[in-house]
Amino acid sequence: MAANEPSPFESSEMLATFLISTPLLPESWRLCSQANASAANLRSFVVERVGAVVYVAFSGVQMAGGSDPSWRTLAPLDRIGGLPLFSSRRNKEAEEPVMVHAGMLTIFSSLFNSIQNQVLGILENTDTKSIVITGHSIGGATASLCTLWLLSYLQSISSSLSVMCITFGSPLLANKSFSQAISREWCGGNFCHVVSKHDIMPRLLFAPIAPLTPQLNFLLQFWHLSMTSPEFGKLAVQVSDQDKSDLFTAVLGCLETATQNEEASESILFYPFGNYFFVSDEGALCVDSPVTIIKMMHLLLSTSSPSCSIEDHLKYGEYVNKLSWQMLNQNNSMMMNIPNSSYEAGLELAIQSSGIANQESAVIAAKECLRSARRMGLSPVLNAASLPLSLSKVAPYRAQIEWYKRWCDEQDDEMGYYDTFKTRESSKREMRVNMYRLTLARFWNSVIDMIEKNELPHDFDQRAKWVNASQFYKLLVEPLDIAEYYGKEKHVKKGHYIEHGRERRYEIFDRWWKNREVTSGEENKERSKFASSTQDSCFWAKVEEARDWLNGMRSERDNNKLAILWEKIENFEKYAIGLIENKEVSNDVLAKNSSYSLWVGELKELKQLNANVQRFPQQFTRFMDGEVVPYYELRLLFLVCR
């Protein structure tokens, strides 16, 4: 298959086939039904072992803020059960914090002690090979949070126990940042959300339904009574046609807006994550792209009615019972029109399984939606495997910059690497070096772009080869970026480099280096000679700021501001001396005419002047204030200051 041809074997499709071919779905639903029925006895979840698999099923008969107008309130989530969640290695600065539904988080927190005791007891049994955490309705959201906690806990103890979360008709749980974090951490495959094609519950939180809170509360009561006692629920509570219509219209309208307007899609408060397993009477299809999930939610709901959208929330048992039979007994008439192309065949079967094959208005949109969900090009693993070849193509440019650095250090002007490039003229040598600098920047920006698009493995930024390569690049090339910034006087308009001019790739590489695994030998190793590159890639930017502070000392008259400037100068001086004593700078820093050496000389003069001012405070103050000072006093002051 060509590299640019879409693969029909997406991870979500393989997950769908796997689930249908195993007892996981029937067993999960059986336990969910049992948990719902036992809710009348105040049991929020049930635990049962089936062979080597342990099931933990949460009841959907719970309230998550339905009686509160703030039904859509979000709460921050950086820890769960006392354990940290999600690495911030690749978070963008503009990215919102990870947040989840406040009411559902409260439910999980209230159950946590009981959950923890039960699950830790399960882990002590060496016969346990897998844990399936499941839940219906609001219980599905609780199951997702429980799965997150368990995955974090197992990671903290380096356990290889398999964990799967299967939800049925679960409401949306969290914001877009949460969804992106799940994708980054590569645990989206642990979550499978079963959603019937008409069920309104998984779609409710797309709409700002605060004005419809009474209708929502009434609907939840109907569902809860129907789950605990189906016959009694249908007799005791009836949701009016008007209430059904109001909810259905609000949700469908918001979904339609989100799929047609990109800005509206970006502003969605709650966002899907993991795999969505859409089920119907005709079969099932599975997708893992959040954008595609939202579009499919809209397309499928648009073929429904207000009554069906509410009744479907209670029909998961019927759908699950049909799936295995349909998998083994494909209808011959269905197979007759399947194209020869494996890709088109998969697409056609997906449309038929969705239950909308007979509705022409929805079929075209659904096909386009599913096509866009398929990953184009190579898989993350293959991308990572081919990336070293791309790196080898730019390696000669890095070598040329290294050669240029050595050449600068050998020149008679003794300016060093940084200052030579900063004050460069239009020579061919410097033009080539600048071209190499820009080429390397494009390469590393493309790597970061691939990471953020999930086109590389989730642990790519932890692999020693790439962490070391990015660090080497940063230490070698960022001084040139700083030289370019100050040589072109960009700081005059924009401000100093570190706050206003530093490229985001360097900040990302800082995090990679900080989060790397460090051996004990590496931590304790002392240098016997100066480094090949200064270990603080922003060192020259700090020198430039220190030069400004020194100039400020000469012109500033405010004593408070002078004290602040002097404190900054002294702190940088100590920092630089520490780097030099530890041999963490390269030789160009100590070059006779480097910016740092010149700064040290100017600082020495200023300190001498300061000492002299302290010896003759009255004469200096009178002179600086413009007062006429006798010639002999002025001459003495001049000789001493000289």
Distance between CA atoms of 166 and 18, rounded to whole angstroms? 13
Angle between helices 428-452 and 464-487 (to 10 degrees): 130
* Residue 460 DSSP code: G
Among residues 137, 144, 179, 226, the one annotated as catalytic is 137
Specify whether 491 is catalytic.
no
- Of the candidates 109, 107, 151, the one whose C-alpha atom is nearest the C-alpha of residue 131 is 151
In angstroms, the CA 506 to CA 491 distance is 18
Q: Is the dihedral of CA 196, 201, 206, 211 positive or negative?
A: positive
Question: Is 313 a known active-site residue?
Answer: yes
Angle 24-38/213-228 helices, nearest 10 degrees?
100
> Rounded distance, CA 78 to CA 76, Å?
7
The structure tokens listed for 222 are 């109907």
Catalytic residue among 12, 183, 199, 288: 199
Q: What angle do CA 430, 433, 437 make, to 5 degrees?
A: 135
Report the alpha-carbon distance of residue 218 to residue 387 in Å, rounded.
56
Phi, psi (deg, nearest 5) at residue 206 = -70, -25
Active-site annotation holds for 199: yes
Torsion of CA 458, 464, 467, 473, to 10 degrees: -140
Residues 443 and 394 sit within 8 Å (Cβ to Cβ): yes
d(CA 557, CA 16): 74
C-alpha 427/C-alpha 547 separation (Å) is 28
Beta-strand (E) ranges in 183-330? 191-196, 275-280, 283-287
Burial of 552 (0-12, 13-18, 19+ CB in 10 A): middle
| DSSP, residue by residue, 33-97 | HHHHHHGGGT--EEEEEETTEEEEEE-S---SSTTSTTTT-EEE-SEETTEE-S--TT--TTPPP
Q: Left (φ > 0), alpha (ψ -120 to 50) or beta: where does 602 sit?
A: alpha
3-class DSSP state for residue 423?
coil
SS3 298: helix
Nearest CA to 49 out of 130, 103, 167, 146 is that of 130
Find all residues with CB under 8 Å of 607, minimum gap 6, and list them: none
Name the H helices within 312-458: 316-328, 332-336, 342-354, 360-373, 380-409, 416-422, 428-452
Using only the alpha carbons of the chain, give its radius of gyration. 33
CB neighbours of residue 526 within 10 Å: 6
The token pair at 463 is 């692999």
- 464 touches 516 (CB < 8 A): yes
Instruction: State the DSSP code for 170.
Output: P
Q: Exactly one of 313, 491, 537, 588 is catalytic; name it.
A: 313
Neighbours of 472 (CB within 10 A): 15
Q: Distance between CA 273 and CA 182 in Å, rounded?
A: 7
Q: Which residues are catalytic?
A: 137, 199, 313
